[in-house]
């Protein structure tokens, strides 16, 4: 998370660099960036702010600095846009087009800064399919996450649905991602108090079955 003020700017920079170092040591394929919202939420202790435009400037400046560090480690960065409900506290980057604009400005013509597509955060976006195609043309599709959006959603963070239990057109989005050239892993990312409480064998069996039938 990038936004911060005062002495907390250095702490944010160091945390993000440490993440790159740890990812490189683990042999991870990329570092996914959850960019942060308003400074006091992204970095506790920072000055309270309602300036989301300023927060987005901090995000872009922070990514630019981290990108130079990540290039030295040969570690790709994947900027993940989050649903607008998280704009204040988790990510002020909220659409795939917004993430791609940042990547184009900071890494023109390159692949050191890409994007992560998470259906939970992007399914609602009227520009989603055009943005996926754009990401494919620019070779910026680095990661793809699936789950589902439940109606009603009882908790913003921890009530994601198992694939097939909600309203996301998972097959259509997967087809779009693969048509755009994505050949990487499909990660089931289900933040869910319900599923975390289930026996692990049931969770895995259900993930496999749903992957085969609805993803």
Condensed to tens digits (0 to 9), the pLDDT of residues 79-108 reads 999 999 999 999 999 999 999 999 999 999
pLDDT for position 71: 97
Write down the pLDDT at residue 25.
98
Q: Where along the chain do its domains lie?
A: 8-213
In CATH terms, is domain 8-213 a member of 3.20.20.150? yes
Predicted pLDDT of residue 182 = 98
pTM: 0.97
Q: Are 97 and 131 in contact (CB under 8 A)?
A: yes
pLDDT at 83: 98
For the beta sheet containing 141-146, the strands, ordered from the edge strand earlier in sequence to the opposite edge, are: 31-33, 77-79, 113-118, 141-146, 186-188
Beta-bridged to residue 46, according to DSSP, are none
Tokens of 73: 């480690």
């Amino acid at each position: 998370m990038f936004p911060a003020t005062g002495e907390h700017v250095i702490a944010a920079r160091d945390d993000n660099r440490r993440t790159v170092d740890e990812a490189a040591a683990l042999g991870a394929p990329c570092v996914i960036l959850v960019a942060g919202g308003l400074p006091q939420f992204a970095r506790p202790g920072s000055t309270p702010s309602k300036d989301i435009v300023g927060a987005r400037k901090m995000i872009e400046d922070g990514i630019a600095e981290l990108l130079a560090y990540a290039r030295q480690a040969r570690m790709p960065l994947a900027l993940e846009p989050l649903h607008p409900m998280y704009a204040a506290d988790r990510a002020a980057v909220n659409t795939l087009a917004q993430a791609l604009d940042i990547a184009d400005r900071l890494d023109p013509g390159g692949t050191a800064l890409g994007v992560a597509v998470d259906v939970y955060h992007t399914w609602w976006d009227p520009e989603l399919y055009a943005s996926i195609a754009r990401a494919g043309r620019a070779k910026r599709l680095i990661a793809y996450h699936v789950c589902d959006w439940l109606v009603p959603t009882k908790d913003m963070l921890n009530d994601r649905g198992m694939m097939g239990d909600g309203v996301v057109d998972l097959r259509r989005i997967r087809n779009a991602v693969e048509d755009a050239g994505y050949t990487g892993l499909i990660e089931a990312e289900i933040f869910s108090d319900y599923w975390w409480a289930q026996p692990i064998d049931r969770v895995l069996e259900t993930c496999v079955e749903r992957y085969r039938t609805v993803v």
